[in-house]
Amino acid sequence: MITFLSGGTGTPKLLEGARNMLPDSDISVIVNTGEDIWYQGGHISPDVDTVMYLFAGLLNTDTWWGVRGDSFLTHDVLKTLLPASYMSIGDKDRAVHIARAEWLKKGMTLTRVTQQLCSHFGVSTTILPMSDSPYTTYVRTAKGDIHFQEYWVRYRGNTDICAVLHVPDEQPPATPEVIDAIRKAEVVIIGPSNPVTSILPILSCTGVREELAQKKVIAISPFIGEGPVSGPAAQLMKTMKYPADSTGVRALYADLVDVFIQDERDTAQVPGSVRLDTLMKTPAIAERLMREILTRL
């Protein structure tokens, strides 16, 4: 079994390539929940949903979020009633958020809710939220602390930030299922997701770093030069006082990583790294990258 640590954009592209080489049942994905948010009566787990929709064959791979071909009737009406609405959520996607919220209110854990949703959509891959406890990512701005979703979706990342914080300010416990997925893995792959807001929250869960220390870990940098392939990783890395390039990512992951992969076009020099084509513009490129990664096992 191969276990991935994933956020909601870069790593799912790699997972798409992995599916062409491995049975879904041989893949486990530990997913960031630091960006989860209660919103308009629903509970959104954006990264969990992206991974789940991918394996269900429902993901909109033009945007890498939401359901392919979804309608937005509810969103259109809500915009007239609640003009401050800043998330464009499809109707089918919103139904998942509402169901999740109802189950959580009834006392189900996020892990159990995710299992139930995966069963409903016929997903055989093991998709695991990193923790059943809240660990929400906020950014500090001149006007105060705001949820990461508000920073990235409402403001498009166009506001200065001076700190990245989490609420509550204590390590969340990794679930037993997460620990088990790491222990059973032949290799753990840290995908090319945002290092600060997607991967670090997973690494912050109690027990995760200790378990990874016993495993072979391969990490893929999301940077090519001084810019990430997508998302606000550069600004976030600078806020964390790390270089906004692959050298910063390597330093951030420190001694957890056995094999560090960066793009063949990357101008940053990381000693000992493996150079591959990591710009996954097509599923074929993602499959080729995954095949080359597996040769490093």
Q: In 3D, which of 129, 212, 123, 120 has the Cα closest to residue 176?
A: 129
- Side by side, the strands of the sheet bearing 2-6 are 126-129, 27-31, 2-6, 187-190, 217-220, 259-263, 274-276
- The annotation status of 36 as a binding-site residue, yes or no, is no
Phi and psi torsions of 261, nearest 5°? -110, 130
Q: Which residues pair with 188 in a beta bridge?
A: 3, 217
Q: How far apart are the first and last CA of the chain?
A: 12
Run of H or E residues at 148: helix 148-149
Q: Can you read off the two tokens belonging to residue 21?
A: 């080489």
Q: Look at residue 75 and give its three-state secondary structure.
A: helix
CA–CA separation, 95 vs 277, rounded Å?
38
Helix (H) or strand (E) holding 228: strand 227-228
Class of residue 107 by CB neighbours under 10 A (exposed 0-12, middle 13-18, buried 19+): exposed
User: Binding site: which residues?
Assistant: 49
